[in-house]
Structure 1
C-alpha cells in the first residue's frame, strides 16, 4: 500500500501541464547536447517532487529524471562524439589502405606483394639455386632505400651473408684444421669485398695479409695491380674498389649472398671453394643523390696447406684460382676501380657487345669463355 500524499505535496497526476511540458523540453534539450546542462529552477522543483514520489512508489515506471539521467545522456553524447571521430579516422585509413595495401602488416588481402614479405630475409644459401631470383617491383633506389627493387633486399648484410658450413675432418685433415681454413677464407672475402676502407679505394691490407708470401708470383702480381693497374694487372679481379673521387657508398650496408664448401686439398691440407655475390649501392661523389648499384660475383678457390709437407707459411692461404663477374661497371676501363653507370648519365667506356645477363642469377656458372663486355638485365 502506497503512502498517501500529504496535502501540500501534489501527486504526479496533479502536476500542471505547463510544468510537464517545460520539463520535457528541458530534457530533450539535454539529450541533444554532449555536455550536461544545469536544469531550470522549475525542472529542479519537479525533479525533487518526482524523486520523493518515486521513493514512495507513486511515480509510474519509466519516469526517471535528475542527475543520473543527465549523466547517462552526457556519456552517450561523448560516446557518439568518439564514434564520430573514429568513424572519420577509419574512413581515411580504409582509403589509404585501398590505395596501398602494403601498409598493412603481413598480407591480409592475399596480394602477395607486401613490403614486409618482400623484405623478409632469405635463409642461408647451402646449394646452388635452381633458377635466378624472381622479378622484383620496379622501384627506384633512394638514399633511404638503396636496395629497393633489388632481389638483394632480402639478402643478408655484409659478413652475416658469409655463413660457414659446419666443419668436419676430411681424410687426415682434422676438424679444427678445416674450421681454421673456413674462417681464414671468410676473412679474405671480408677484407677483399666488405672492408670499408678497401671498398673506398684504399689498399686492401687485411686481405693481402691472409695470402701466403711463399706462393710464387701471387703477391707480386697483386702489388703490381694495385700500384699500376692495367688490363693484365687489374686489382678489381680480386678486390672490390671504387674511386672515392667518383662515387661514395650509400650507407654502411653491402648485401651479401653465397655459399662455401670444402674438401681434401692437393697440398696436403683442406681446399675451400667460395662463391659469393656482393651488391654495392653508390651515389656520385659530387653531390647528386641518384642511387645506382654495382653487383660483383666472386668465385675463388684457396687452400690451407700442410706446412709439415710443403714450403708454406702456417696460417696463410694459397690462392689457387679466382674469377669474377661484374654487373654495372664501365667496360674496358682498367684503372683499378669499379665504375658504376647511372641511369641519368651517358655510358662510359667501351660499348657493350656481349650478351645480356642477370647479375643476380646464382644458378649458373660464370662464363669463362666470354671475353666481350655485356650488359645486365637489372641492377
Structure 2
C-alpha cells in the first residue's frame, strides 16, 4: 500500500490529509477488483457434476466436441498426438509464468479478445502439424465457427491468395498469371458460389473447364443429372440439399495455397490445395449449428493451344481429390449431408480410424475406400 510521504521529505506543495486518504482507499479498491477471483462454490459444484456425468456416459454425444462422421477418408493420428504432447506441455508452463497469454481474459486484465480470433497469415507452405486445440465452444448463429480453428481463417474468396506469377521455362509470366486466375475461378465456382451451394448447376465452374478435354464435361454432366457412386458431383462441387439445410450466415471459411510449375502439355501446371468450412442449420427446425469441412486438391493445366487441341482461356482438369468431414457416409444423391450433434445418422456406424479435418499437414489418405471414420472435431 502506498505510504504517506514523511514530513522531512522535500515537496513542492503539501498534500492535504483528506486527499491522501482518498487516494489510498481508491488504490486499495483497484487492487482488490483487479485480483484473480476463485470460482464460486456453485460453479465448482456444477463443473464437478458435469465431469461425473461425462465419466458415466450420461451426457449426449457431442456435448463437448463430439465425434462426427467422415466419408471414408481415414488418417492415422497416433504419432501426431504424441508429438503434440511436448509443445502443449511447454505452453502450459509458459502460461503459468505469464497468465495474460490465456485467451478470453480469464483474470479480468481488461485485454481485448480480438487477438484470440485475429486472422492467420496466408498459408504459403505446407503446415508442419495440425492446428492447435480450440476451446470446446458450441457454435451459434452469431458465432458459427466458435470452437473451430477456422474462426481465424479468411472469409470466402479472401482465403484464395494467388502466388506471385513468374515465367516458367518458355511459358510467360502473363500465361502463368492467367492459369492462376482461372484456377481460382474454378475453386470459387465449385465451392463458394451460392448457387452451387444450393444444389444448382455450377455453371461458373464448368465454364472454366476445357470442353475439348475427352470425357470430362460428359462425366460431370452425368453426375449432376443422375448422381451415383460412380458419378458423384460432390467429388468436385460442394452442394447441399436446400430442403435439408441452409447456411448459418453468409461466411464460409477458406484456407490453403496454390503452387505452379512447368506443365506436361506445353503450358503451366497448377496445384490447388484448399479447405472450406461450411456452417449450416436445418432448413426447418431448431437453430442448431453444425459444420461440414471439405478439403479439395486439384491439378490443372493451362496448355499450349499452338501445340495441343485445346480451347484458349480454358484449363484442363488433370486430377481432383477430396476429403469430406461431417457428411453422411455412402449416400450418393449428389449432396453433402451434415450430421448434427443432437441426432445420429441412420447409416452405418463409423468403423474407420479417427481423423482431424483441419489437419492440412498431411496428404489425403483414403485408406481402403470403404471405411466410414470418425472426426476428432468439427
What TM-score do you get using the length of structure 2 for normalisation? 0.73
Which residue in the other structure is 1:112 paired with? 102
Length, aligned pairs only: 295
CA shift at 1:288, angstroms? 1.0
Is the CA contact (8 Å cut-off) linking 1:331 and 1:351 kept in structure 2? no
Which residue in the other structure is 2:235 paired with? 237
Distance 1:233 1:288, change over 3 A: same
For residues 4-83 of structure 1, the aligned pairs below 5 Å read none
For residues 159-198 of structure 1, the aligned pairs below 5 Å read 159-198=157-196
Whole-angstrom distance in 2 between the partners of 1:369 and 1:296: 17
Distance 1:125 1:224, change over 3 A: same
* Equivalent of residue 323 in structure 2, options 310, 325, 333: 325
Which residue in the other structure is 1:367 paired with? 365
Which residue in the other structure is 1:23 paired with? none
CA shift at 1:98, angstroms? 7.9
CA shift at 1:232, angstroms? 0.5
Runs of 4+ residues deviating >6 angstroms:
89-93, 95-99
Whole-angstrom distance in 2 between the partners of 1:292 and 1:319: 31
Which residue in the other structure is 1:143 paired with? 141
Whole-angstrom distance in 2 between the partners of 1:378 and 1:162: 24
| Residues 274-296 of structure 1 deviation map (CA, whole Å, 9 limit, x = unaligned) | 00000000000003111000000
Whole-angstrom distance in 2 between the partners of 1:97 and 1:198: 51
Whole-angstrom distance in 2 between the partners of 1:273 and 1:287: 40
CA shift at 1:362, angstroms? 0.3
Which residue in the other structure is 1:129 paired with? 127
Whole-angstrom distance in 2 between the partners of 1:261 and 1:360: 20
| Residues 103-134 of structure 1 deviation map (CA, whole Å, 9 limit, x = unaligned) | xxxx9942432342320111000111010000
> RMSD of the TM alignment (CA)?
2.4
CA shift at 1:244, angstroms? 0.3
Whole-angstrom distance in 2 between the partners of 1:296 and 1:348: 22
Which residue in the other structure is 1:210 paired with? 208
- Secondary structure of the equivalent of 1:119? coil
Distance 1:96 1:158, change over 3 A: farther
- Secondary structure of the equivalent of 2:178? helix
Which residue in the other structure is 1:258 paired with? 256
Structure 1: give runs of 5+ residues left out of the alignment. 1-75, 100-106
1:376 aligns with 2:366: no
Which residue in the other structure is 2:47 paired with? none
Whole-angstrom distance in 2 between the partners of 1:232 and 1:131: 33
Whole-angstrom distance in 1 between the partners of 2:37 and 2:149: 25
- Secondary structure of the equivalent of 2:319? strand
Which residue in the other structure is 1:10 paired with? none
CA shift at 1:370, angstroms? 3.3
| Residues 212-255 of structure 1 deviation map (CA, whole Å, 9 limit, x = unaligned) | 00001000000010110010000000000100000000111100
Structure 2: give runs of 5+ residues left out of the alignment. 1-17, 40-94, 105-112
Whole-angstrom distance in 2 between the partners of 1:348 and 1:322: 29
Is the CA contact (8 Å cut-off) linking 1:341 and 1:348 kept in structure 2? no
Whole-angstrom distance in 1 between the partners of 2:363 and 2:372: 17
- Secondary structure of the equivalent of 2:116? helix
Which residue in the other structure is 1:156 paired with? 154
Which residue in the other structure is 1:312 paired with? 310
CA shift at 1:351, angstroms? 2.2
Which residue in the other structure is 1:66 paired with? none
Is the CA contact (8 Å cut-off) linking 1:292 and 1:341 kept in structure 2? yes
Which residue in the other structure is 1:350 paired with? 348
Whole-angstrom distance in 2 between the partners of 1:151 and 1:199: 22
- Secondary structure of the equivalent of 2:188? helix
